[in-house]
């Protein structure tokens, strides 16, 4: 597993945990920073995970608007918490990180959704992110 793939999973874990516990992203980042300091072997994945999470936090309103506009028939509140986290990270990569090709962001998000969430999550995430990438 590449460092970026590990970082994406770590970012999704942070976003998921903060959303589930209804705590701020800033608090989740402080806690994870402490953990990262104690585990130097995970430093490579921590830098990009932090970049994703901070980016999602900074652009949360526009990211959520893009998801809502492209998730036909679904509100953010109705989506599984894990799917929301995966979509937010994927949308940030598509809209705000020019270093990552859209196809890579979509593929990584679909893979994580397929592994970690419901049976239908992979295709749902693929549809939403593909539509956002197409329309940007």
113 to 22, 30, 44: CA distances (angstroms): 21, 26, 23
Which pLDDT belongs to residue 136?
A: 87
End-to-end Cα, the chain, rounded Å? 29
Please compute the mean of the pLDDT values over residues 82-108 and round it to a whole number.
97
Which pLDDT belongs to residue 19?
A: 94
Please compute the mean of the pLDDT values over residues 110-130 and round it to a whole number.
97
The pTM (predicted TM-score) of the whole model is: 0.93
Helix, strand, coil percent content, the chain, rounded in steps of 5: 80, 0, 20
Provide the mean pLDDT of the chain.
93
Strand, helix or coil for residue 136: coil
Which pLDDT belongs to residue 38?
A: 76
Paired tokens of 74: 């679904």
Which of 56, 122, 133, 21 has its CA nearest to residue 31? 21
pLDDT tens digits along 41-52: 767 678 899 999
> Hey, what domains does the chain have and what are their CATH numbers?
3-135 (1.10.940.10)
């Amino acid at each position: 597993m590449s460092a970026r793939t590990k970082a994406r999973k770590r970012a999704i874990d942070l976003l998921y945990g903060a959303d589930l516990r209804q705590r701020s992203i800033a608090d989740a980042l402080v806690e994870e920073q402490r953990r990262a300091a104690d585990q130097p072997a995970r430093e490579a994945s921590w830098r990009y995970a932090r970049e994703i999470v901070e980016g999602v936090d900074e652009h949360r309103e526009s990211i959520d608007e893009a998801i809502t506009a492209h998730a036909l028939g679904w509100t953010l509140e109705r989506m599984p918490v894990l799917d929301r986290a995966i979509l937010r990270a994927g949308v940030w990569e598509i809209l705000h990180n020019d270093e990552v090709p859209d196809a890579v962001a979509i593929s990584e998000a679909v893979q994580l959704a397929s592994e970690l969430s419901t049976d239908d999550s992979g295709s749902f995430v693929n549809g939403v992110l593909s539509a956002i990438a197409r329309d940007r």
